[in-house]
Amino acid sequence: MPRLKPDTTAQLTSGLGADLGAAFAFLPTPPTMALETPDGGAMKQFAGTPVSHIGTMSMVDLSIGVLFRTATPVVIPLLGFEFGIPVKTGYPGSVDLGTQGPSWIKGGPTFYDGLDIGGLGVELVAGTFRFGLVAMPGFRFVRTTGTITQGVLTIDAEANEYTFSLRAEVKACAGGKGVVSACVYGAPHVFEFSQWMNGAVFGLRVETN
């Protein structure tokens, strides 16, 4: 009679993983932005951050990341990139820079870029399902192009701002060991652009496991 062997398919093993996601993101309080020349020179003659938001920012959000799964429930995010494409920027089309002075005219699309560096999380496995919670520190950068005009004079001027960020991601995935998993996830912006709980990301993702 053959000897029965224990089922080891659910055991955790260590190794690298990767993910690719698409989501909806919103930022209730976009940052006030400083003006710079196209080559990065600060325009100190204007107020420190003259471009202020007038509403929320809503985005289509794309992300890609690399993580390390240990042979325990501990997961270590290594590096993640986020690319936000605002469908509603939250910024006006023009900004007066002084009484009867020049105006800054928004002239192109707004971009929202993110970089997550490191982090720490846990994943719990139940059959072919995984549930995870991860904290990820990083940085976020908002920028848009435009021009400063006064009479017939026009010069290029980019508006931008960056910040330290902290995300807390929750996810649920379906997929057996050794195959690509499909996940739903949400990531509140715990801290971003000087605000606590400043928006969130909700979306779908595929992960290698």
- pLDDT tens, residue by residue, 50-64: 889 999 999 999 999
Query: 9 falls in which pLDDT band (50, 70, 90)?
Result: very low
Q: How far apart are the first and last CA of the chain?
A: 35
Q: Under a CB-based contact definition with an 8 Å cutoff, are residues 106 and 94 in contact?
A: yes
Three-class SS of 7-61: CCCCCCCCEEEEEEEEEEEEECCCCCEEEECCCCCECCCCCCCCECCCCCEEEEE
Question: What's the mean pLDDT in 1-13?
Answer: 51
CATH of the structural domain 15-208, one choice from 3.40.50.10680, 2.40.160.20, 2.70.98.60, 3.20.20.60: 2.40.160.20
Looking at the chain, list the stretches that DSSP marks H as alpha helix, in order from N- to C-terminal side: none
Longest CA span, the chain: 95
Q: How many other β-carbons are positioned within 10 Å of the β-carbon of residue 127? A: 9
Q: Any idea where the domains of the chain sit in the sequence?
A: 15-208
Please tell me whether residue 178 adopts helix, strand or coil conformation: coil
The predicted pLDDT at position 102 comes to 86
